[in-house]
Chains A and B, each alone.
Chain A
Amino acid sequence: MDLSAINPVVLTASLMVAATPILLAALGELVVEKSGVLNLGVEGMMITGAICGFATAVETGSPTLGFLAAMAGGAALSMVFGVLTQFLMSNQVATGLALTLFGLGLSALLGQGYVGVKPPATDRLDLGPLADIPVLGRILFSHDLVVYVSLALVAGIWAVLRFTRAGLILRAVGENHDAAHALGYKVVRIRLMAIAFGGAMAGLGGAYLSLVRVPQWTEGMTAGAGWIALAIVVFASWRAGRVLLGAYLFGGVVVLQLNLQAAGVAVPVELLSASPYLVTILVLVVMSADRGRAALNAPACLGRVFHASS
């Protein structure tokens, strides 16, 4: 066992990379849930985004096009959920599950020719001398664009939800769809837009997994990341800033357990591999045990079906 091999600076930098897919997916789901829709299909949209992005990047040689294709793929799949839940008024829990099951199958189908292929490398953003600052440079200024985009999105979503009219309307639809409808807001249209945004974000997160974090395509490679993103939204009690905290906490656990495995700590490998899931459950329990907070922040119409005539 050699714990000295674990470098805290590298650890922190790789923590940010490990957390980014989940951060992106959780931010998307946050917006969806704020509009009063519970989309349990995050896992399916992520893995679909992962293969759409991977295939496009391999075929075109451009990771940027790959990320865009992943967003398009995730959003397209999310529209299946949108049409079913918003127009055909199906049960959101069941439809979300269907989305995950279908997404896993579809992605395996699309990805048949891509197992073992190496994707084009995603360049780090060149920040010039900033990256040469000791410690901070490695942690903060040596990532690719998507990491910075994800951080900007945290601030952006927080600001939009808190300070803008659009954010207020979105929250109104999520808190009381009947009142929002009575005020003349198009509940279904607003929710569809939120669902598409959530799908695009999940797709982007998935592509980050297959193009940067791993980088490779294997069937079922998201391995529950979408579900953890859902858990992080609950953990964050529907606040953008806390989503960042939750995702980085989770990223930290993942990176740390990988490092401990590599260092050969005298703990069973299986226990270390299961630790991210166990920590997520533990955190969920702690959050939900606090009766007031969790219940207060959940959008009041979360998961409820809206029909204009009722």
Chain B
Amino acid sequence: MIRLEKRPAPSRAWGVAAPLLAVTLTMAAGAGLFALLGTDPLAAIRTIFWDPLFNEQFASYSRPQLLVKAGPLILIAIGLSLGFRAGVWNIGAEGQYIMGAVAGAGVALAFYPLEAWFIFPLMVIAGGLGGWAWAMIPAILKTRFRTNEILVSLLLVYVAEQVLASMSLGLMRNPEGGGFPGSRNLQQYPAAANPERIAGTGMHWGVVTALIAVIATYVLLHRHMLGFQIRLAGQSPRAARFAGVDPNRLVVICLGTSGALAGLAGLFEVAGPAGQVSIDFNVGYGFTAIIVAFLGRLHPVGILLAGLLMALTYIGGELAQFMLGLPAAAIQAFQGMLLFFLLGVDVLSNFRIRLGRREVA
């Protein structure tokens, strides 16, 4: 009989090994899924995980895409990880991402066609504030009325999507766009554009910000009192209260930070790779970032690696779609599967497996 015995403290070795095992298991299960869809599973796995980086034909296009896609994922996931550690569940990052993009693009469009150095910094501030303000709604409702932040933040995603639709069809519609929905293209407005900083790398300001966020969060969590309080509140809310940690303050800080970072991610996306506010410019980074945060074990360095891996599945997925006719939804299911395996193998870091006869508990 297999029995699970709780470990006194989570195993550190398994903490590192579990995500790797989960990725391996997901690849195996994914191969099965692709085989069911009638695609050669080995070719599919190679196209998704190997070709974007090392295939001579595609790598020159795909490699820069890695940072372009990983940037927003890492930036959002870093913010989410703070909350997830403290037991504050912000799952509406997608909405905060949209609102950040709308606020930032709004600043740019208000100044159009002025060319001035201060426009881009103002947009960055507006983007962060937009996401922050959207996240403050669940935060204030949680602290004032004890309303569940999971439901409120998620429901606000649908509201944000309506705001986005309203903006791209109305207020922000390009007056020279011939009646098509969507704003002016910010890539063609130098003062507001967020182009590649180093040619051929995909590195834009959003990626730089993501790297800064990784380092800052690492310092915060391991060297700062607030980081200690966040970890304490997540592991033992009762102990945290006795230690004088104000739970409401943590809710506001965690939701505010994750909202601001998601808003920044949205802004850098709309000013850079996406280029314009349009009805469907958001592609679900806010939700995928939840997987990234867990895959990275809520640790900044882990999130950095997980973000790169998840970006790879996006790029490889597109490539597989193009080369092998693998449906786009297969990659979405694949990403969801990864989170399942990850949560499943986590049992190994918290429990020991014992073989033997079960006693009467």
Q: Which A residues fall within an 8 A CB radius of B?
A: 40, 80, 83-84, 88-91, 93-95, 97-98, 101-106, 108-109, 112, 181, 219, 223-224, 227-228, 230-231, 234, 268, 270-271, 273-274, 277-278, 280-281, 284-285, 288-289, 291, 294, 307-310
Are B155 and A90 within 8 A (Cβ)?
A: no
**Within 8 Å of chain A (Cβ to Cβ): is B122?**
no
How far is B347's CA from A84's CA once the two chains are assembled, in angstroms?
9
Residue from B37, B141, B290 within 8 A of A285 (CB atoms): B141
Are B329 and A102 within 8 A (Cβ)?
A: no
- Indicate with 1 or 0, residue by residue over B110-121, a CB within 8 angstroms of chain A CB atoms: 000000000000
Given contacts A91-B343, A98-B336, A289-B147, 4 further A-B contacts (CB under 8 A): A97-B339, A106-B329, A227-B155, A284-B152
Are B166 and A268 within 8 A (Cβ)?
A: yes
Chain A residues lying within 8 Å of B336, measured Cβ to Cβ, are 98, 101-106
Are A284 and B147 within 8 A (Cβ)?
A: yes
Are B155 and A105 within 8 A (Cβ)?
A: no
Chain B residues lying within 8 Å of A228, measured Cβ to Cβ, are 155
**Within 8 Å of chain A (Cβ to Cβ): is B176?**
no
Are B333 and A106 within 8 A (Cβ)?
A: yes
Residue from B162, B290, B330 within 8 A of A109 (CB atoms): B330
Residue from A88, A284, A309 within 8 A of B344 (CB atoms): A88
How far is B151's CA from A309's CA once the two chains are assembled, in angstroms?
33
Chain B residue at smallest Cβ distance from A92: B343
Are A270 and B166 within 8 A (Cβ)?
A: yes
**Number of B residues whose C-beta is below 8 Å from A?**
52
Chain B residues lying within 8 Å of A89, measured Cβ to Cβ, are 4, 347, 350-351
Are B339 and A90 within 8 A (Cβ)?
A: no
Residue from B147, B159, B288, B343 within 8 A of A274 (CB atoms): B159
CB distance from A51 to the nearest CB of B (A): 11
CB distance from B240 to the nearest CB of A (A): 18
Chain B residue at smallest Cβ distance from A80: B340
Chain B residue at smallest Cβ distance from A230: B151
Are B158 and A223 within 8 A (Cβ)?
A: yes
Residue contacts A-B, CB under 8 angstroms, 7 given:
A83-B344, A91-B343, A93-B89, A106-B329, A224-B154, A228-B155, A288-B147
CB distance from B55 to the nearest CB of A (A): 25
Chain B residue at smallest Cβ distance from A278: B159
**Within 8 Å of chain A (Cβ to Cβ): is B56?**
no
How far is B146's CA from A234's CA once the two chains are assembled, in angstroms?
12
Chain A interface helix/strand/loop/mixed: helix
Chain B interface helix/strand/loop/mixed: helix
Are A281 and B156 within 8 A (Cβ)?
A: yes
CB distance from A218 to the nearest CB of B (A): 13
CB distance from A182 to the nearest CB of B (A): 10
Chain A residues lying within 8 Å of B6, measured Cβ to Cβ, are 307, 309-310
CB distance from A217 to the nearest CB of B (A): 13
- Indicate with 1 or 0, residue by residue over B216-256, a CB within 8 angstroms of chain A CB atoms: 00000000000000000000000000000000000000000
- Indicate with 1 or 0, residue by residue over B156-171, a CB within 8 angstroms of chain A CB atoms: 1111001101100010
CB distance from B284 to the nearest CB of A (A): 9
How far is B92's CA from A277's CA once the two chains are assembled, in angstroms?
13
Are B158 and A104 within 8 A (Cβ)?
A: no
Residue from A40, A105, A281 within 8 A of B150 (CB atoms): A40
Residue from A97, A109, A277 within 8 A of B156 (CB atoms): A277
Are B290 and A224 within 8 A (Cβ)?
A: no
Chain B residues lying within 8 Å of A106, measured Cβ to Cβ, are 329, 333, 336
Chain B residues lying within 8 Å of A280, measured Cβ to Cβ, are 151, 155
Known: A109-B330, A284-B152. A101 touches B159 (CB 8 A): no
CB distance from B301 to the nearest CB of A (A): 20
CB distance from B111 to the nearest CB of A (A): 25
**Closest 10 pairs (CB-CB, A-B):** A102-B336, A105-B332, A108-B329, A105-B333, A270-B166, A98-B339, A90-B343, A274-B162, A109-B329, A289-B145
User: Which one of B141, B147, B163, B290 has the greatest number of beta carbons of chain A within 10 Å?
Assistant: B147
Chain A residues lying within 8 Å of B84, measured Cβ to Cβ, are 94
CB distance from A280 to the nearest CB of B (A): 6
Chain A residues lying within 8 Å of B51, measured Cβ to Cβ, are none
Are B146 and A105 within 8 A (Cβ)?
A: no
Known: A281-B155, A307-B4. A98 touches B343 (CB 8 A): yes
Are A291 and B339 within 8 A (Cβ)?
A: no
Are A274 and B158 within 8 A (Cβ)?
A: yes
Chain A residues lying within 8 Å of B290, measured Cβ to Cβ, are 97, 101
Chain B residues lying within 8 Å of A97, measured Cβ to Cβ, are 91, 290, 339
Are B350 and A227 within 8 A (Cβ)?
A: no
CB distance from B97 to the nearest CB of A (A): 16
Are A284 and B329 within 8 A (Cβ)?
A: no
Are B151 and A231 within 8 A (Cβ)?
A: yes
Known: A106-B336, A224-B155, A227-B155. A94 touches B329 (CB 8 A): no
Chain B residues lying within 8 Å of A80, measured Cβ to Cβ, are 340
How far is B147's CA from A66's CA once the two chains are assembled, in angstroms?
37
**Within 8 Å of chain A (Cβ to Cβ): is B39?**
no
Residue from A95, A112, A219, A270 within 8 A of B163 (CB atoms): A270
Chain B residue at smallest Cβ distance from A81: B340
Known: A104-B336, A274-B162. A285 touches B346 (CB 8 A): no
**Within 8 Å of chain A (Cβ to Cβ): is B177?**
no
Chain A residues lying within 8 Å of B332, measured Cβ to Cβ, are 101, 104-105, 108-109
Chain A residue at smallest Cβ distance from B291: A101
